[in-house]
Amino acid sequence: MSQIESLLHEDRAFPPTAEFKSAARISDPAEYAEMYRESILDPEAFWGRMARELPWMVDFDKVLDWSDAPFARWFEGGKLNASAACLDQHLEGPRAHKTAIRWEGEPGDVREFTYTELHAEVSRCANALKARGTKKGDRVAIYMPMVPELAVAVLACARIGAAHSVIFGGFSSKALRDRIQDGDCSTVICADGGWRRGKILPLKREVDAALEGIDSVHTVLVVRRTEQEVAWFKERDTWYHEALAAADAECAPEPMDSEDLLFLLYTSGSTGKPKGIMHTTGGYMVGAYLSARFVFDLREDDVYWCSADIGWITGHSYIVYGPLSNGATVVMYEGAPTTPHPGRFWEICEKHKVTVFYTAPTAIRTFMRLGEEHPEKFDLSRLRLLGSVGEAINPEAWIWYRRVIGGDRCPIVDTWWQTETGSIMITPLPGVHDTPPGSAMRPFFGVDAVILDEAGAELPANQGGLLCIKKPWPSMLRGIWGDEQRYRDTYWSEIPGVYFAGDGARRDEQGNFWIMGRVDDVINVSGHRLSTMEVESALVSHPKVCEAAVVARPDEITGQAISAFVTVGADVEVSDELRVELGEHVTQEIGKLARPREMRFTDALPKTRSGKIMRRLLRDVAAGTETSGDTSTIEDLSVLAKLRGDEI
């Protein structure tokens, strides 16, 4: 059952340009191969050397203790502060007055912080927290829009040794309450509201509803962003700007043991209690630092923009900790990618002179649908590297991204990783690899990835199976908050002694990995296990299709049948003839077995604010069942309501 049939193949590959290779951090395939070999065969030597590039307060005396597997201990004896690694180490040299964060709000307001200014702001926030009784070992919930104060709050918590629990600003008060209670948070940092698609989100109102009856939260720091009126609880609530105005601009960073908790980040499925993923200080920082440095090939003059929200792991690792520990200039943007016009992302790239851009495949497919005329209005010539994250990217979207946004010159790093892994696990190195469209390519340093069947046997080339990791890596999760057994059962029980990611993948003859999506999303048609991602890629390769999502629905004869939800171009007429045409196209691309049993045309697909398609909701629609699980993160509930209407 774990073997997934792979029917879609891609023969194109694009090498980095000579200009890119000449300046890349790693450009020699032999150098890369030797580094990877050492990272697998002698991980203690490799990781010990790499870790010492960070500013340890006390050096570690042991690189790895795996004696209590699956609970790893990395860099034992060492003391490090993540905030100091991101800020203090840059203050003595030329980076002191370099821009650390360049922020733009959805209404168009802009703010900038140099490393010196950001250090002072973080120190004030840290002192303000301490003044209100927040201390080392506490948990602090952060529920904010994408404003600079969000990054400041994260770093301030790290500075005093309080673990932060960032909760995405799109979650409902109930979801917020569940996470505050599970983490036993004593402090909440929020904003009065935030901007999204030209509207104000009432975030403080959600916090007030979430905290009803919770006595453990003694402080709520409130950032004034939208100037809306908010309810006020005098004993508990404090304006952020007033608290920082009274605080000192110097705060010594707390020495943290390498295995001290840095943050909790909750993941949730369609059912069940959210999982509080635990990441500790030393190993996480080493993983975020090194992957940001090499995957994005960061250079001193880069302007780097990751369009994710800090409420997700991508924002933790590749907006805050990874880029800032490398001394990069980071762009942050508050709002929606198409507000107030469809070219907003590209306008930001031009305005802020972005050189490295990292976004999600769903966003790329949205831009494809909107048309090339929008990016063509802006100067994207400064871009030199593009990245993709969040799910497998289909080859046609990859090609569009390279051609239209990257001008056929920018390498694309298609990255695979998870909240649980902490940092990027499978990726091209942009100066080394010729990249095939749609492949996540090779394991990163120290990542011993393998494709296994359910019995633990390694599968041959091009046979889809379970994507597993055989050895510990520094940024791996250290458990699930308050539930040790759930950690063992969820990640280490499928194949004993091996981490199972929950994703299916195949590896081709060259050793490149192709992610096939969640194993839970695999469709079993008459005993054939098919990857939904491959069927979606076949549909999107048709010139009339902009986006597609494929799910399984129950079928009495075949067990499961393929149900496709398709978005077409604005000038395309929807008809039964088009349905037949697309079905034939899928047959030609990957075979009759993958032809959708039903096809629904829709103006939009249900997505989270971060751009992920909510396939579990589509499964409910396809099966004709009531929607289950939390829908608070859906961007537009009317999309779901329309899908529940009659098929066109």
Q: Which residues have CB under 8 Å from 235's CB, separation 6+?
A: none
Place of tokens 């037949």: 580
Fold entry, domain 522-643: GMP Synthetase; Chain A, domain 3 (3.30.300)
Distances (CA, A) of 300 to 37, 94, 116, 326: 28, 10, 17, 9
pTM over 0.85: yes
In this structure, are residues 490 and 275 in contact, taking their beta carbons and an 8 Å threshold?
Answer: yes
What distance in Å separates the CA atoms of residue 281 and residue 490, rounded to the nearest whole number? 23
- Secondary structure element (H or E) that encloses residue 33, with its range: helix 29-41
What distance in Å separates the CA atoms of residue 308 and residue 517, rounded to the nearest whole number? 20
What distance in Å separates the CA atoms of residue 335 and residue 387, rounded to the nearest whole number? 20
| CA-based nearest residue to 296, from 398, 383, 386, 381 | 386
Distances (CA, A) of 529 to 2, 59, 123, 535, 619: 8, 50, 54, 12, 17
C-alpha triplet 240, 244, 249: angle, nearest 5°: 150
Residue spans of the domains in the chain: they are 18-81+263-515, 86-254, 522-643
Helix count and strand count (H, E) for the chain:
20, 31
Radius of gyration of the chain (CA): 24
Residues in the chain: 648
Asked, colleague to colleague, whether 18-81+263-515 and 522-643 share their fold, the answer is: no
| CA-based nearest residue to 370, from 402, 404, 320, 324 | 404
What distance in Å separates the CA atoms of residue 375 and residue 369, rounded to the nearest whole number? 12
DSSP helix/strand/coil, 586: helix
What is the β-pairing status of strands 79-80 and 256-257?
antiparallel
Which residues pair with residue 466 across a beta bridge? 452, 504
pLDDT of residue 270: 41
- Secondary structure element (H or E) that encloses residue 551, with its range: strand 545-555
| CA-based nearest residue to 309, from 189, 432, 143, 427 | 143
pLDDT of residue 610: 63
Place of tokens 């496709």: 564
In this structure, are residues 137 and 145 in contact, taking their beta carbons and an 8 Å threshold?
Answer: no
What distance in Å separates the CA atoms of residue 607 and residue 322, rounded to the nearest whole number? 27
- Tell me how far the alpha carbon of residue 234 is from its chain's centroid: 37
| CA-based nearest residue to 541, from 592, 580, 590 | 590
Task: Give the pLDDT means over successive 10-residue stretches in the chain (648 positions).
Answer: 63 94 96 98 98 98 97 98 98 96 97 98 98 97 98 98 94 89 97 93 95 95 96 96 97 98 82 84 98 98 97 96 98 94 97 97 88 96 96 90 97 96 98 96 98 94 94 98 94 94 91 87 68 82 89 76 88 90 86 85 80 79 71 66 58
The 8-class DSSP code of residue 391 comes to: S
What distance in Å separates the CA atoms of residue 509 and residue 256, rounded to the nearest whole number? 44
Q: Which residues have CB under 8 Å from 500's CB, separation 6+?
A: 466, 467, 468, 491, 492, 494
Distances (CA, A) of 374 to 109, 339, 378, 381, 531: 22, 13, 8, 15, 33
76: amino acid identity, one letter: E
| Structure tokens given for 205 | 């109102």
Instruction: HSE, CB side, 13 Å, CA atoms: give it for residue 388.
Output: 33
18: amino acid identity, one letter: A
Ramachandran sector of residue 40 (left: φ over 0; alpha: ψ -120 to 50; beta: rest): alpha
| Number of other CB atoms surrounding residue 110 within 10 Å | 10
Span 86-254 CATH architecture: 3-Layer(aba) Sandwich (3.40)
What distance in Å separates the CA atoms of residue 588 and residue 133, rounded to the nearest whole number? 65
Select 18-81+263-515's CATH number: 3.40.50.12780, 3.30.420.270, 3.40.50.970, 2.40.30.10. Answer: 3.40.50.12780
